[in-house]
């Protein structure tokens, strides 16, 4: 039987749909990247909350956190001790640093000097600075139990830590990234802090696992609650949009999901918090979210789209 041109176009199109059912589109400046510990990186449209898988797993593991700089460089952290660089256009993943002090690291930030700063695991604790080109690691403030971090500049960060013998009361500290010296900057204690984010003014945002978002004024030692309670459940990462809106990851039902199943059975939500009123809105929820942990705003240039439409297929083979 003779094969018409239309027949071959239909076969080609069906093959494309079968082999590549989901082809992620371009990254746009302002898009939100969510780190999912099971599935990889998920990109969220900040306007309508639409979700797309941006990367899959790396060596069978998802990611605990993600960091992005203004040039569009993307880094993802695997909680088992791997940092990978992700190409914004091709999504190719290249290992940057593995093992060493990164074991069981849960968060990571980019420093203005281009280095990556992450949580250091046992037995060193403290923080680990990673050279993104060589992968070399060096420990900052060994012995300090750090559970959240935000970098102020190349030499200073704010961290959450707890005094020796008191693992239920965390305080905010200013940390000298060169010497490891710390100065306490919060009068009030925190309960299980998970993430920090630096604001443009003399303050930073602190997120506690139990569902509290606060603003810390380090010069005064003051802590001002901003949003708490329902519908928050189990909070994780935090990031700030250029408008000042606070993005907070809520793992929701993930800790108690039983039995395990597809993504829709373990809900997760990405909230937007108004920086002035504390009002909360859902940016995106459930869908592809499964065990979301970290969040960052893509601040680099938009990438070329690779979506293939029916029109493009017909034009190509017309």
Give the CATH architecture of domain 30-303. 6 Propeller (2.120)
- In angstroms, the CA 313 to CA 295 distance is 35
What mean pLDDT is reported for the chain?
Answer: 85
For 151-206, write each residue's pLDDT tens digit. Answer: 999 999 999 998 766 677 999 999 999 999 999 999 999 999 999 999 988 999 99
3-state secondary structure of 185: coil
Interval 286-301 mean pLDDT: 92
- In angstroms, the CA 115 to CA 181 distance is 19
Interval 59-68 mean pLDDT: 95
For 121-148, write each residue's pLDDT tens digit. Answer: 888 999 999 999 999 999 999 999 999 9
- Give the per-residue pLDDT at 103: 86
- In angstroms, the CA 201 to CA 39 distance is 35
- In angstroms, the CA 197 to CA 231 distance is 21
Q: Which of 212, 204, 224 is nearest to 271 (CA)?
A: 212
Q: Which of 171, 205, 209, 213 is nearest to 188 (CA)?
A: 171
């Amino acid at each position: 039987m003779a094969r018409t041109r239309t027949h071959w176009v239909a076969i080609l199109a069906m093959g494309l749909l079968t082999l590549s059912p989901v082809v992620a589109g371009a990254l746009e400046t302002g898009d939100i990247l969510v780190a999912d510990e099971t599935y990889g990186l998920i990109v969220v449209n900040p306007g309508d909350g639409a979700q797309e898988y941006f990367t899959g797993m790396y060596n069978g593991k998802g990611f605990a956190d993600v960091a992005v700089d203004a040039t569009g460089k993307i880094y993802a952290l695997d909680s088992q001790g791997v940092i990978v660089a992700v190409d914004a256009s091709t999504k190719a993943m290249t290992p940057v640093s593995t093992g060493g002090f990164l074991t069981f690291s849960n968060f990571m930030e980019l420093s203005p000097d281009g280095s990556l700063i992450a949580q250091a695991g046992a037995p060193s604790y403290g923080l680990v600075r990673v050279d993104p080109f060589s992968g070399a690691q060096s420990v900052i403030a060994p012995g300090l139990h750090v559970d959240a971090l935000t970098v102020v500049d190349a030499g200073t960060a704010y961290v959450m830590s707890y005094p020796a013998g008191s693992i239920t009361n965390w305080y905010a500290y200013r940390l000298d990234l060169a010497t490891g010296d710390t100065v306490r900057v919060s009068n009030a204690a925190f309960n299980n802090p998970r993430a920090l984010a630096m604001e443009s003014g003399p303050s930073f945002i602190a997120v506690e696992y139990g569902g509290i978002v606060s603003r810390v004024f380090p010069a005064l030692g003051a802590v001002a609650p901003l949003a708490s309670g329902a519908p928050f459940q189990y909070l994780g990462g935090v990031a700030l949009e250029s408008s000042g809106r606070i993005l907070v990851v809520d793992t929701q039902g993930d800790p108690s999901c039983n039995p395990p199943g597809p993504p829709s059975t373990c809900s997760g939500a990405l909230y937007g918090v108004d920086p002035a009123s504390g009002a909360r809105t859902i940016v995106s929820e459930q869908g592809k979210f499964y065990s979301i942990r970290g969040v960052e705003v893509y601040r680099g240039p938009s990438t070329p789209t690779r979506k293939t439409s029916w029109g493009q297929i017909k034009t190509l083979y017309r």
